[in-house]
Amino acid sequence: MSPARAAALAVIVAVTATVVACKPSSENGGSMTQPAPSSSVCSGAHCDPAHPSHDPSAAPVLSATSVRPVPTFSDRPPQAQYREIGMNCTVNHRLDDDPVVFPDQPGKSHNHSFVGNPSTNAATTTEQLVGGATSCQDKKDASAYWFPTLLQNGSVVNPETVTVYYKSGVKDYRTVQPFPAGFRLLVGDMRTPSAAEFGGTWNCTGYLGKEIPPSCPAGSSLIVRYQAPSCWDGVHLDSADHKSHMAYPVGGVCPPHHPVPLPMFEMKVPYKLPGGVTAGLAYSSGPGYSFHYDFMNGWDPARQAEVVAHCINGGRQCNGLGVDKHKP
């Protein structure tokens, strides 16, 4: 084992730390239904992502003794073109639920397409996810990932294989640590006021921009991508807006108020459109620039630590099984 990998493994976040939950755990029982999404895009109070009952002081936290210091190195990290895992997943159900923004409130949200753990619904907790099934490549990643459902003239547009990337957002990729147990995150904002302010990108052959193009060449895929912040405050597993416990790196380094580098998500969602026709496309949450996604950590802790150390800390380009064929 290389010294860098050994150092990374030695400072893994203690994922079994005591967690103060913002609400009691509930058992997720019964069968899951999949209501058809509305043919109209979301509007009004029903879709307001603000959760009026969410008390910022009640956000779940890790105890101060549960997080070990971020590793430091006296040398520069070895040159590595890639520091990532690219995991393919498939959509397994759709619901008008959002267990991060509207916990225990089934039907409160606009329609979402879910990948990963197939049991995810409004009542799901992170504790219930771990050890469950998944539609992602690594069968020990039972996390829940979801994003608004794309519609074309009111009909669902199913995405092709969704890819969830775990990358290094900081220069020293050796310092990236796994997501702690109980971690949750919302990336992006359905209330983004214009395409110019969208934090992601849309692309198809011959086009790259901030909004859905007027058309795409026949046979090409229309793809939306969005990178997440990757610097954690080291304390909160969630926050009132489901974002403030994370921040983007500055100059490739985590800022002092969010000092812990975690994997940087990049969600890639491709859609194959007949004839490349994009007319009539809109998300259940609104225009193309309302795209956003959520994450609830359901990883087996030891497995996540292993792939983060091997692939990200090790400077590799791993597939969804944690394998880099060019750098074993």
Give 297-311 pLDDT, tens digit per residue. 999 999 999 999 999
More confident residue, 13 or 106: 106
Distance CA 209, CA 133 (A): 36
User: What backbone torsions phi and psi does residue 174 show, to the nearest 5 degrees?
Assistant: -70, -15
pLDDT for residue 68: 60
In terms of phi and psi (left: phi > 0; alpha: psi -120 to 50; beta: otherwise), the region of 10 is: alpha
22-26, 242-246, 250-254, 307-311: range with lowest mean pLDDT: 22-26
Mean pLDDT within 54-65: 45
pLDDT for residue 27: 35
More confident residue, 212 or 38: 212
pLDDT for residue 61: 54
Q: For residue 40, give the 3-state DSSP assignment.
A: coil
Whether residue 24 is predicted with pLDDT greater than 80 in this model: the reply is no
Whether residue 140 is predicted with pLDDT greater than 90 in this model: the reply is yes
* Element at 164 (helix H, strand E): strand 162-167
Distance CA 323, CA 285 (A): 36
More confident residue, 11 or 204: 204
Spell out a b/e string for 230-259, using b for 16 or more CB atoms within 10 Å of the CB, else e.
bbbbbbbbbbbbbbebbbebeeeebeeebb
Whether residue 175 is predicted with pLDDT greater than 80 in this model: the reply is yes
More confident residue, 43 or 145: 145
pLDDT for residue 93: 97
pLDDT for residue 65: 42
Percent of the chain having pLDDT more than 70? 79
Within 8 A by CB and 6+ apart from 128, the residues are 25, 27, 28, 119
303 close to 218: Cβ distance less than 8 angstroms? no
Mean pLDDT within 160-166: 97
Whether residue 81 is predicted with pLDDT greater than 90 in this model: the reply is no
Q: In the structure, what pLDDT confidence band is assigned to residue 38 with cuts at 50, 70 and 90? A: very low
9-18, 77-86, 142-151, 243-252: range with lowest mean pLDDT: 9-18
In the numeric block, which tokens belong to residue 199? 């934090």
Distance CA 41, CA 286 (A): 5
Angle formed at CA 97 by CA 230 and CA 56, multiple of 5 degrees: 50
Spell out a b/e string for 32-55, using b for 16 or more CB atoms within 10 Å of the CB, else e.
eeeeebbeebbeeeebebebeebe
pLDDT for residue 126: 94
Q: In the structure, what pLDDT confidence band is assigned to residue 17 with cuts at 50, 70 and 90? A: very low
For the chain, domain boundaries: 3-19+59-318
**DSSP assignments along 96-127, one per residue:** S--TTTSTT-TT-SPPEEEEE-TT--TT--HH
pLDDT for residue 21: 37
Whether residue 314 is predicted with pLDDT greater than 60 in this model: the reply is yes
Q: In the structure, what pLDDT confidence band is assigned to residue 10 with cuts at 50, 70 and 90? A: very low
- Quick one: which of 217, 196, 210, 327 has its CA closest to 278? 217
Looking at every residue in the chain, the average pLDDT score rounds to 84
- Residue 171, CA distances (Å) to 7, 59, 155 in order: 17, 30, 43
pLDDT for residue 274: 92
pLDDT for residue 15: 37
Q: For residue 302, give the 3-state DSSP assignment.
A: helix
Mean pLDDT within 265-274: 96
User: What backbone torsions phi and psi does residue 7 show, to the nearest 5 degrees?
Assistant: -65, -40
**Would you say the pTM of this structure is higher than 0.85?**
no
Q: For residue 266, give the 3-state DSSP assignment.
A: strand
Q: In the structure, what pLDDT confidence band is assigned to residue 209 with cuts at 50, 70 and 90? A: very high
- Residue 308, CA distances (Å) to 42, 58, 125, 200, 312 in order: 37, 30, 23, 24, 5
Within 8 A by CB and 6+ apart from 110, the residues are 37, 42, 46, 47, 96, 148, 149, 190, 283, 284, 285
Within 8 A by CB and 6+ apart from 137, the residues are 87, 88, 89, 319, 320, 321
Whether residue 60 is predicted with pLDDT greater than 80 in this model: the reply is no
Whether residue 6 is predicted with pLDDT greater than 50 in this model: the reply is no
